[in-house]
Amino acid sequence: MKQILLIDLHSASHELFHQLTAQGYYVHQVNNAFDALIKMETLTLEAILLDFAVPKMDSFWLLIARRAPTPIIVIADANSELERINALELGADDYLSQPVNVRELQLRLNILKRRTQIPVNDITEQQVRFDDVNYTVHLVDKPLILTKTEYRLFKYLYERQGVVVTKAELQQRVLHKELGRFDRNLDMHISNTRRKLVKGNLPRDLINTVRGQGYSFSF
């Protein structure tokens, strides 16, 4: 389920909360900068909706928010040109005025996603570098920081591009144990890796699931 962080003080946000939920989003609503930063660090978010009226969500906090690859859309009470320019200068990706039209919000999110995500076909082998010391994969100069096991799985699949690698093989060669009937440990590592790809605005489809067989890596 797609997750959105809503940082807002206004009662009108309750209506937006329910509208987004009805569209299939899981909305995390906070009313202060501290809780917002915690959510940003721990969740894989589709977008951050930010109200400038929230205390400390001024230039300093917005600049901190820019560390995240997640699109940031500022929401304001009125369609103020000065506030819109200020928000964009501080690093916001877009600006909407209240009341928010959910359909328009979805369209803007789709546009932002297309702008920020690197298409699979745009990545070549020359743009992939492996750092065996820090368990980091550099994809088009974007670092993908993984755990040791995630890194080894990613590299093993990468070195066998286009080949379907069975779960049993990955379990033996990378995790060094037999695949149990109800063992989901491998699936968990793959799922976590895909989540990190999405969080870094990288295509999760680099690792493909081949139903009933295993996984494959392909650009």
Provide the residue type at 66 as one letter.
R
pLDDT for 105 equals 86
pLDDT digits (tens, 9 = 90+) for 178-198: 777 767 888 889 988 988 887
Contacts 24+ apart (CB under 8 A), 175-182: 175/149
Task: Tell me the average pLDDT of the chain.
Answer: 79
Alpha-carbon gap, residue 5 to 28, rounded angstroms: 5
Given this model, what pLDDT does residue 150 score?
94
What confidence score (pLDDT) does residue 176 get? 86
User: What percentage of the chain has pLDDT greater than the value 70?
Assistant: 81
In 54-204, alpha helices (H) = 59-65, 81-89, 102-116, 148-158, 167-173, 185-199
Angle between helix 185-199 and helix 148-158 axes, rounded to 10 deg:
90
**Residues 144, 146: Cα–Cα separation, whole Å:** 6
136 and 114 Cβ atoms separated by less than 8 Å: no
The tokens describing 60, both together, are 């300093």
Q: How far apart are CA 164 and CA 215, in angstroms?
A: 6
Buried b (16+ CB within 10 A) or exposed e, 9-42: eeeebeebbebbeeeebebbbbeebeebbebbee
Categorize the per-residue pLDDT at 134 as very low, low, confident or very high, splitting at 50, 70 and 90. very high
**Distance of alpha carbon 58 from alpha carbon 37, whole angstroms:** 14
Sign for the CA dihedral angle at 114, 118, 120, 121 comes to positive
Query: Model confidence over 7-32: pLDDT tens digits?
Result: 887 655 677 888 888 888 888 988 87
Closest CA to 83 of 72, 75, 8: 75
List all residues 6 or more positions away from 43 whose beta carbon is below 8 Å from its beta carbon: 3, 5, 28
Q: Which of 136, 110, 141 is nearest to 193 (CA)?
A: 136
Read off the pLDDT of each residue in 98-115 and give the average, rounded to a whole number.
80
Question: In this predicted model, what pLDDT tens digit does every residue of 36-94 receive, in sequence order?
Answer: 777 877 777 788 888 777 765 555 555 555 555 678 888 876 667 777 777 777 777 88
